[in-house]
Amino acid sequence: MNSLILTCQSCNTKNRIPADKQHLSPKCGKCGKPIDAGTSAVPVELTDSEFQSFVAGSSLPVMVDFYSPTCGPCKAIAPFISSLTKEYLGKVIIAKLDTSTNPGTSMHYKIRGVPSLLFFKNGHVVDQIVGAPPESQLRQKLDAIK
Ligand SMILES: [Zn+2]
């Protein structure tokens, strides 16, 4: 699980927030004021060991980008996936899984090629996109599950 550093606008303290908590209105550890993660939000980086409990335990729908670091189409869609993460913060959790280092989850969901985007609700796959979608298609799917 990755984390991000958010600077408190009230007291300037840097706070380390786990990526899976960024949508939960995090508060500054020093002064207790809420910190807006909006423009800093990043996709949650999942691994085999935490994947199942994460998607099953999430109260929000989750979109997972199954990618590989050496895949060109994966790199091509990464910028708009990153901006949609900020836009859909609090509505849909956007996550990613590196299939090259997490073969277990990829096998479990029968991922045959990357990128593959899986959409989860209550731990179950409710939709998917195989291959790199245009941004408009991804936005449509996110709107449909949010
Ligand atoms: Zn503060």
Distances in whole angstroms, Cα of residue 132 to Cα of each of 29, 51, 69, 113: 39, 22, 14, 10
Rg (CA), the chain: 15
Give dist(CA 90, CA 107) in Å, integer. Answer: 29
- Summarised one tens digit per residue, pLDDT across range 118-136 is 999 999 999 999 999 999 9
For helices 135-145 and 72-87, give the axis angle rounded to 10 degrees: 40
Active site (annotated) includes residue 71: yes
Give dist(CA 137, CA 135) in Å, integer. Answer: 5
Taking the centre of ligand 1 as the mean of its atom positions, its distance from the CA of residue 146, in whole angstroms, is: 31
- Summarised one tens digit per residue, pLDDT across range 20-54 is 999 998 999 999 999 988 889 999 999 999 999 99
Taking the centre of ligand 1 as the mean of its atom positions, its distance from the CA of residue 17, in whole angstroms, is: 13
Question: Where do the domains of the chain lie, and which CATH numbers do they carry?
Answer: 3-39 (2.30.30.380), 43-145 (3.40.30.10)
Active site (annotated) includes residue 11: no
